[in-house]
Copies of this chain bind each other. A is one copy, B any other.
Amino acid sequence: MTDDAVFRALADASRRQLLDALHVRNGQTLSELCQGRDMTRQAVTKHLAILEAANLVSTHKLGREKLHFINPVPINEIAERWIGKFERPRLAALSALKTSLERKDHE
């Protein structure tokens, strides 16, 4: 069950913040991801390793730097499954409406 890794990875606020940071700007280095965070580089490294193990982040080494990229697929898969599971009929329509409105909003 690889779901478990994703759920556990998302359970920590620091890790969700790291995903947020990558969402704002993808491909950041470790040092960049450390900036403004109230913990050591090693702690951030560990969080990123957990995100990577859950397939939520992938990395690419470039010289002495390590770039981090977000992978939205697992989040989406889980969301799909859980929305679908627990409230398919009532919320699906609402959801569709919302995204539709949001998309118009961004055009």
**Chain A interface (Cβ < 8 Å from any Cβ of B):** 1, 4, 7-8, 10-11, 13, 16, 19-20, 23, 70, 72-73, 75-76, 78-80, 82-89, 91-92, 95-96, 98-100, 102-103, 106
Contacts and interface: CB of A to CB of B under 8 A. Distances in A.
Main secondary structure, interface of A, reads helix
Contacts of A88: 99, 102-103, 106
Contacts of A19: 86
A23 B76 contact: no
29 contacts: A4-B13, A7-B16, A8-B11, A10-B10, A10-B11, A19-B86, A20-B85, A70-B86, A72-B86, A72-B87, A72-B91, A73-B87, A75-B82, A75-B83, A75-B86, A75-B87, A76-B83, A79-B79, A79-B82, A84-B99, A84-B102, A88-B102, A88-B106, A89-B106, A92-B99, A92-B103, A95-B95, A95-B99, A96-B99
